[in-house]
Amino acid sequence: GKMKTGLQKTRRVLGTDIRDLFKAEGRLVDEDFLGELYARLIRTDMGAGPAGRIRDRVAKDFRGRVVHLEEVVETITQDIREQLKQDHGDLAKADSPPTVILVVGVNGSGKTTSIGKLSHHLVSQGHKIVLGAGDTFRAAAVEQLTIWSERIGCEIVTGPSGVDPASVAYQTTEKAVEIGADYAIIDTAGRLQTQGKLMQELEKIRRVIDKKLPGAPHEVLLVLDATAGQNAISQAKGFSNAAGCTGIILSKLDGSAKGGVVLPIREQFELPVKFVGLGEGIEDMTKFDPDTFAAALLE
Ligand code: GDP
């Protein structure tokens, strides 16, 4: 399905790399083989931890034997599946609607697009939603989100440029209650210059939402760009810590030949990957599922 298409680039690299290790008659699992396997796994950006674990597992199961491609692929797939087994794309739900979802992330990470896709996903399941344009410092962000709301056919709450994002968040929650929406999805600012201020702002947003609707927000989703390097990931950790994130939307996984990056991201953030972005279109996002993901990496 979508995951398989989205991970085409990774599969081309990893699949070809692993296949190249074998001849039709199989290959003896010795130190040479294990070293080569490790190097190829590392190329997917899965990180030394997971790559080492997979190598050790292959060593334990097969050392001194001649193995075939399928056996090794099965071991790799199994390991990845186990590492990610707790992750799934199910969103937390309020005891009674609306469920409030706050979306945070660095500018350019794909935050607006991800909100559009998530909204479309929920609306196509029959839910009524309200969007909140909480990134009030970027006129373009408000415009973009307004365009998404028109495409999707849902309500949006905006404020004048530069208005306190917390007031937009409050009004969005209020609106969701008023019209009996199932979900309120609130955008937030994604600038990085002033970590302290950002933290205060996010805390204030959470406070006012909770005041309007005790227990909200029910989800705080961090949007991460899968093609960004380690540096961007470190920066995003600031967001994650400040915002009390509950899950990750990993965007642009289609743009990367390094789909293995899901593993270290999962490890570093200690947050479940809930959705993955697999293209620019409105349908190009899928709920994360470890089995489908593991299979799509190598199949
Ligand atoms: P924001 O600044 O974080 O709100 O980022 P945008 O939502 O405006 O996205 C930045 C760019 O990334 C845009 O050109 C999007 O079309 C693109 N983009 C977002 N998500 C994906 C994805 O999953 N795959 C691809 N290929 N592009 C994406």
Q: Is 277 in the pocket of ligand 1 (CB under 6 A)?
A: yes
Residue 141: both structure tokens together? 């962000």
Assess whether the C-beta atom of 251 lies below 6 angstroms from ligand 1: yes
Confidence of residue 134 (pLDDT cuts 50, 70, 90): very high
Beta bridge partners of 100: 184
Q: What is the whole-number distance in angstroms between the Cα of residue 113 and the centre of ligand 1?
A: 6
Cβ(255) – ligand 1 distance below 6 Å: yes
| Residues contacting 224, CB < 8 A, separation 6+ | 105, 109, 232, 233, 236, 248, 249, 250, 251, 265
105 is annotated as contributing to ligand binding: yes
CB-count exposure of residue 208 (10 Å: 0-12, 13-18, 19+): buried
Q: Is 253 marked as a binding-site residue?
A: yes
Indicate the average pLDDT of the chain: 90
**CA-closest residue to ligand 1 atom 11:** 110
Distance CA 131, CA 156 (A): 5
- pLDDT exceeds 90 at position 44: no
Query: What pLDDT does residue 297 have?
Result: 82
Closest residue CA from atom 12 of ligand 1 = 110
Buried b (16+ CB within 10 A) or exposed e, 217-227: bbbbbbbbbbb
Ligand 1: which of 113, 119, 284, 286 to mutate, judged by most atoms within 8 Å of the beta carbon?
113
Q: Which of 218, 221, 192, 242 is nearest to 285 (CA)?
A: 221
Among 3-17, 226-240, 272-286, the range scoring the smallest mean pLDDT is: 226-240
Residue with tokens 């991201």: 265
So what's the ipTM on this one?
0.99
- 294: tokens are 């593991």
Q: State yes or no: pLDDT of 180 exceeds 70.
A: yes
Q: Using a 6 Å cutoff on CB, does residue 252 contact ligand 1? A: yes
Is residue 251 part of an annotated ligand binding site? yes
52 lines ligand 1 (CB under 6 A): no
Spacing, Cα 272 to ligand 1 middle (Å): 21
Name the β-bridge partners of 184: 100, 130
Query: What does the angle CA 7 – CA 2 – CA 107 come to, to the nearest 5 degrees?
Result: 70
Q: Is 190 annotated as a binding residue?
A: yes
Q: Which residue's structure tokens are 């760009």?
A: 225
Listed in sequence order, the residues at least 6 apart from 76 whose beta carbon sits closer than 8 Å to its beta carbon are: 18, 41, 54, 58, 298
Q: Quick check: CB of 50 below 6 Å from ligand 1? A: no
Distance 235 CA to ligand 1 centre (A): 18
What pLDDT is stored for residue 62 in this prediction? 96
Q: pLDDT value at position 130?
A: 98
- Write the pLDDT tens digit of every residue in 221-256: 999 998 887 677 777 787 787 788 999 999 999 887
**Which residues are CB-neighbours of 171 under 8 A, at least 6 positions away?**
132, 157, 159
How many A from CA of 281 to the centre of ligand 1? 10
Environment class of residue 282 by beta-carbon count within 10 Å: exposed (0-12), middle (13-18) or buried (19+)? Answer: middle
Taking 90 as the threshold, does the pLDDT of residue 175 lie above it? yes
| CA 280 to ligand 1 center in whole angstroms | 6
257 exposed, middle or buried (CB, 10 Å; 0-12, 13-18, 19+)? middle
| 79 is annotated as contributing to ligand binding | no
**Protein residue with its CA nearest to atom 21 in ligand 1:** 252
